[in-house]
């Protein structure tokens, strides 16, 4: 078996660290301008409402992101907690109705 050359090994580790630190720096710069929910087709993949969303070309497609990358994109995100609570309540109501149709009870409400 070949003996490991510690100097060569360290040189490779340093090279890998250099590569990754460059990627991280680039990602950090890009994250200040490009929303993480915007995919490479300029579609929005967010599961919440945002003022930058525009109707998609086809009904089944995700919304189009209209953000111009000039201003801070996070201020357009829907952050109203009452919307979140309404959505959670609606989901719970649908789940309860679905379980009731099947003659079952929500396991979270048994009190056990």
Residue 50 and residue 76 in contact, taking contact as beta carbons nearer than 8 Å: yes
Question: Phi, psi (5° rounding) for residue 102?
Answer: -95, 5
Residue of 23, 65, 87, 103 that binds ligand SF4 (CB under 6 A): 65
Torsion angle in degrees (nearest 10) through CA of 18, 20, 23, 25: -70
The least CB distance from residue 45 to ligand SF4, in Å, is 7
Stretch that binds ligand SF4, among 9-17, 23-31, 32-40, 104-112 (CB under 6 A): 32-40
Residue 53 and residue 78 in contact, taking contact as beta carbons nearer than 8 Å: no
User: Is 46 or 99 the residue whose CB approaches ligand SF4 more closely?
Assistant: 46
The CA angle 22-23-24, to the nearest 5 degrees, is 90
User: Is 76 or 99 the residue whose CB approaches ligand SF4 more closely?
Assistant: 76
Stretch that binds ligand SF4, among 14-22, 44-52, 79-87, 99-107 (CB under 6 A): 44-52
Residue of 10, 20, 26, 37 that binds ligand SF4 (CB under 6 A): 37
Which element (helix H / strand E) includes 64? strand 64-65
What is the binding site for ligand SF4 (CB under 6 A)? 35, 37-38, 44, 46, 50, 52-53, 65, 67, 73, 76-77
């Amino acid at each position: 078996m070949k003996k490991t050359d510690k100097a060569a090994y360290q040189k490779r580790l340093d090279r890998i660290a250099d590569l990754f630190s460059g990627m991280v720096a680039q990602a950090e710069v890009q994250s200040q301008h490009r929303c993480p929910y915007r995919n490479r087709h300029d579609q929005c993949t967010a599961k919440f409402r945002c003022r930058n969303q525009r109707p998609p070309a086809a009904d089944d497609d995700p919304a189009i992101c209209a953000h111009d990358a000039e201003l801070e994109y996070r201020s357009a995100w829907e952050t109203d907690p009452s919307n979140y609570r309404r959505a959670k309540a609606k989901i719970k109501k649908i789940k309860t109705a679905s379980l009731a149709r099947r003659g079952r009870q929500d396991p979270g409400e048994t009190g056990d």
